[in-house]
Amino acid sequence: GAVVSQHPSRVICKSGTSVKIECRSLDFQATTMFWYRQFPKQSLMLMATSNEGSKATYEQGVEKDKFLINHASLTLSTLTVTSAHPEDSSFYICSAGQYSNQPQHFGDGTRLSIL
């Protein structure tokens, strides 16, 4: 149980492109999903908390206009990197938990490379 699916797993695109990443909870409903960013040999850094039916909560230093989050249903959250630039290249990972105080389960991540 508690499977989280993330797509796509790999994106390579030109600078200025907008990229959408999907995160789905396959066998449970998630009112809250989380988006993280991970640089090579670094730990996961929380970018934002995505709440179904309401605005996302962004961590300090994360540009909400650059990283658009939509959580339209209890099983789907999307992260759109708008007008991506090479410095946005990173490993983006989503997670979800069945209940607010339960452990989060992670997707397999999306490796984004902006040329």
Q: Which residues form the interface with other proteins (CB under 8 A)? A: 4, 6, 31-32, 34, 41-44, 46, 49, 51, 57, 91, 93, 95, 97, 100-101, 103-109, 111
CB of residue 50 to other proteins, shortest distance in Å: 10
Q: Closest distance between other proteins and the C-beta of residue 81, in Å?
A: 18
Q: What distances in angstroms separate CA 53 from CA 32, 50, 56, 69, 72, one per listed residue?
A: 10, 9, 9, 11, 6
CB of 106 to other proteins, least distance (A): 4
3-state SS of the chain: helix, strand, coil percent to 5?
5, 50, 45
